[in-house]
Amino acid sequence: MSERAPISLEALRSSDGTPRHVDYATLPPDVVARPEGIQFQHNTFVVSVATMVLISLITFFIPLFNGLLGGAFGGYHAGRMKRALGAALVTSVLVPAIILGAYALAGPHLSRLFSGLGTGGWIALHVMGTFLGAASGAASRPLDTERDLYRPPLRPL
| Per-residue pLDDT tens digits for 69-98 | 999 999 999 888 899 999 999 999 999 999
19, 38 contact by CB (below 8 A): no
Q: CA 123 to CA 113: how far, in whole Å?
A: 11
Asked whether residue 46 carries a pLDDT value surpassing 80, the answer given is: yes
What residue spans define the domains of the chain?
Answer: 44-142
* Per-residue confidence (pLDDT) for residue 26, from 0 to 100: 76
| Residue 60 identity | F
Tens of pLDDT, residues 8-36: 666 666 667 666 666 667 767 776 666 66
Between CA 119 and CA 70, with CA 60 as vertex, the angle to 5 degrees is 120
Q: Using a pLDDT cut of 70, give the percent of the chain over it.
A: 60
**Cross-strand pairs, 13:** 19
Largest CA distance in the chain: 83
pTM of the model: 0.63
Q: CA 127 to CA 70: how far, in whole Å?
A: 11
Q: Using a pLDDT cut of 90, give the percent of the chain over it.
A: 36
Look at 12 and 54; give whichever has higher pLDDT.
54
Q: For the packed helices 81-104 and 44-58, what is the interaxial angle rounded to 10 degrees? A: 40
Q: CA gyration radius for the chain?
A: 27
**Cross-strand pairs, 19:** 13
Q: Which residues contact 112 (CB under 8 A, 6 or more apart)?
A: none
Closest CA to 79 of 6, 8, 7, 147: 147
